[in-house]
Structure 1
């Protein structure tokens, strides 16, 4: 594929992936605010208790086979059918496991509602499994426009139904309704947009080949999901349900920015990286630009959220969520290195080294266990501070192997980020000073965001950062494309 063609495809994919992730995240953010104002922290805590069981089951269903299909170059129709059959069988198995284990989950957390909640919410495993192949085929084709449409349809449909249910007094079930209907609508639209008709053909040879690659991703995925959600179990068991609700709300605020950027980078760039996996110079060039762009976006955003956490929480969620403020101020910094860490791990997947991906993840286990042992008894604030420390260490670990393979490791990556840190520090100083003279929360938020963004961009312009120019070019291309469509 020619450089100009590859660049054009990459830009188009990134544009639609950005539209997809930010539209969906913004929509979910608005819906989450509305639901948080209506429902209680305890309602979100109950769903948080079930998060690990749904996440682990979903990881088994996906199992890395879809990623394996994207990574390989000689994929066939029997590969897609094999993946489809596998998804249905595994989703059925894990739903039955969740269904019959629901009373034990309820007993463990001493929450009687969890039995029915787990059995109904578990249906989301079927809904997601039905559309994994369709999403995979669209990703291979770099057709993120269709994926964006399906995700937006699911977000709007599920969000509206969830809000209506909350207004009518359904309580925690409003959250279940939102998730189930959103997944159903998204899956149906993916079927309609992908134009792929499944069959019941299953090839042992195809499965063995795909699972050889995907099994490492499965292990890494299970490990990651367990670590991401084990705190929910500990907080749900050891602390009041509302405490878990505060923790999950703080995480959701932080993940809106960091999670969106990670999703955009992984979805849009993975098929591009696989295309150039045998061209070392081009691969490293794209990899480095991804690291720099991730830092350019995420570092100032997370810092701005931390500085303006008080007006954000009180104005959007009301004062009943005040306990979220200190948690949010810390947890956003635990997400600062998340996109860059994900880019490093994504590179290993793109070059077919899922074995290294797994080894890197497992290498972080002792540090994670140590952080849990130290912080969980000390409370939820200590937990999020522990996240900050471990996330910085994990970034270094994640960047080590790509550094050995391609000569672009943690030190070089941090050097590339240094001007961004300088610009962010200048922004933080301006926002902190201005906010100190304002008591009105609305003014704090509005003026803080305006002055923060302007200050950051101005310093980036003074430092002549390439990323500023690239973002501007992407904006102009998107604007031109939108005008042309009209």
Structure 2
């Protein structure tokens, strides 16, 4: 692939992935606000109790095989059919398992209504499984435009049915309805846009080859989800459902911004990085630019959310969510290094080193266990503060191996991020001063956002940061070259 062609493909992929993620996240953000105003924190807490079981099942259904198809580059139709059959078989197994385990899950959390909730919500496993290969095919083709359209359709349909259900008094079931209808609409759209039709063929040879790569990602995914959700389990078990509701809402708010950046760079750049995995110079060039561009967006964004947490929560979610404010302020800082950490891990997958991916992930286990032991007895806020500390240390660990392999480790990455921290500090001072002077929450939110953006971009311009120019060029390319 020629340099210009690769750059054009990567740029267009990033643009359409950004459209996808930001449009979907914005839509989901609006829907979540409407649902939060109509429902109670306890409703979100009940769904949060089920999240780990659904997420675990989805990891087994995927088993890293989709990522293996993207990374391998020379797939045959039998490879795709093998993954399709595997996805359907495993989704059936886990739904049956969840169906019969539902009463035990309900008893564990002492919430009787969880039995029916998980039996209905578990149907989402089938809905997701039937479209995994279609999404993978579109990703390999770098057809993020079709993926974007599918995701937007799912967000709109799910949001519409969820809000209607909440307005008609369905309570926690509105969240189940939103999930199921959204997933169904997305899966149908992916089938429409993908030209691939499955067969019932299954190749043991193909499966062994793909699973050899994907098994490490499966183990890493299970390990990561255990660590991510152990807090949810403990909160659901030992604290009121409302406490878990506040925690999950703080996490979802933080992930709307940080998680969106991660999804954009991972989905759009993984096939591109895989295609240049044997060209060291080009690989490092793309990789380092992604680190800087992620920092350009995420560091000021998370800081601004923390500064304006009070007007955001009270104006958007109402006073009944006021306990969320300090949790949100800490949670966004726990996510500030998340995109850069994910990029470091994504690089290992792109070059086919899923074994190193697993080793790096497992090396963080003692750190996480220590944080859990110290903070879980102290309450929700202490747990999130523990997230802040462990996420910063996790970034250093995640960047270590890429540093050894490509001479672009944590020190070099932090050096590249330093100007963005400087610009963010200048922005934070101006916004904090404005919030101190103005008591009106509406003005705080409006003027704080405007002042923060203008101040940050102005300081970046003074520092002559090239990322500012690159972002402007991306905007112009999107206007001129990309048609909807």
- Determine the structure 2 residue equivalent to 1:121: 121
State the aligned residue count. 484
How far is the alpha carbon of 1:226 from its aligned partner? 1.3
Q: Give the corresponding residue for 2:76.
A: 76
Q: Which residue of 2 aligns with 1:225?
A: 225
Distance 2:202 2:240 in 1: 47
State the match for 1:41 in structure 2: 41
Per the TM alignment, residue 146 of structure 1 is displaced from its structure 2 partner at its CA by 0.2
- Cα deviations by residue, 1:8-54 (Å, 9 ceiling, x for unpaired): 00111011000000000000000000000000000000000000000
Cross-structure match for 2:177:
177
What pairs with 1:380-395 in structure 2 (closer than 5 Å)? 380-395=380-395
Distance apart, 1:412 and its partner CA: 0.4
Superposition RMSD in Å: 0.6
Q: Distance in 2 between matches of 1:193 and 1:75?
A: 20
Gaps of 5+ in 1: none
What displacement does 1:325 show? 0.1
Q: Partners in 2 of 1:372 and 1:346 — Cα distance?
A: 26
Q: Trace 1:18-167 onto structure 2 (pairs within 5 A).
A: 18-167=18-167
Q: Give the aligned partner of residue 351 of structure 1.
A: 351
| Paired position in structure 2 for 1:466 | 466
For 2:324 and 2:147, the matched residues in 1 are separated by 33
Residues 322-471 of structure 1 aligned to structure 2 (within 5 Å): 322-471=322-471
Matches within 5 A, 1:292-307: 292-307=292-307
CA offset at residue 228 of structure 1? 1.1
Q: TM-score, normalised by structure 2?
A: 0.99
SS at match of 1:199: coil
In structure 2, C-alpha distance between the alignment counterparts of 1:13 and 1:70, rounded to whole Å: 15
Hey, which bits of structure 1, 4+ residues long, moved more than 6 A? none
Structure 2 CA distance for aligned equivalents of residues 403 and 75 of structure 1:
31
C-alpha separation between the residues in 2 aligned to 1:86 and 1:94?
12
TM-aligned CA deviation for residue 195 of structure 1: 1.3
The unaligned stretches of length 5 or more in structure 2 are: none
The CA distance in 1 between the partners of 2:362 and 2:185, in whole Å, is 36
Separation (CA, whole Å) in 1 of partners of 2:255 and 2:334: 10
Inter-partner Cα distance in structure 2 for 1:182 and 1:242: 25
Distance 1:38 1:74 in 2: 50
More displaced 10-residue stretch of structure 1: 371-380 or 222-231: 222-231
Counterpart secondary structure, 1:179: helix
Partner of 1:278: 278
Equivalent residue of 1:170, what SS? coil
Describe the superposition over 1:358-388 as per-residue Cα deviations: whole angstroms up to 9, x where unpaired. Answer: 0000000000000000000000000000000
Give the equivalent residue in structure 2 for 1:17. Answer: 17
Deviation readout 1:184-225 (Å, 9 max, x if unpaired) = 010011001001100000000000000000000000011111
Whole-angstrom distance in 1 between the partners of 2:475 and 2:110: 51
Determine the C-alpha separation between the residues in 1 that align with 2:110 and 2:481. 54
Report the Cα offset of residue 481 of structure 1: 3.1
Displacement of 1:74 in angstroms is 1.5
Q: Name the CA distance, whole Å, in 2 between partners of 1:481 and 1:177.
A: 38
Structure 2 residue aligned with 1:312: 312
Moved more, 427-436 or 222-231: 222-231
- Distance in 2 (CA, whole Å) between partners of 1:73 and 1:183 is 28
C-alpha separation in 2, matches of 1:350 and 1:62:
17
1:191 maps to what in 2? 191
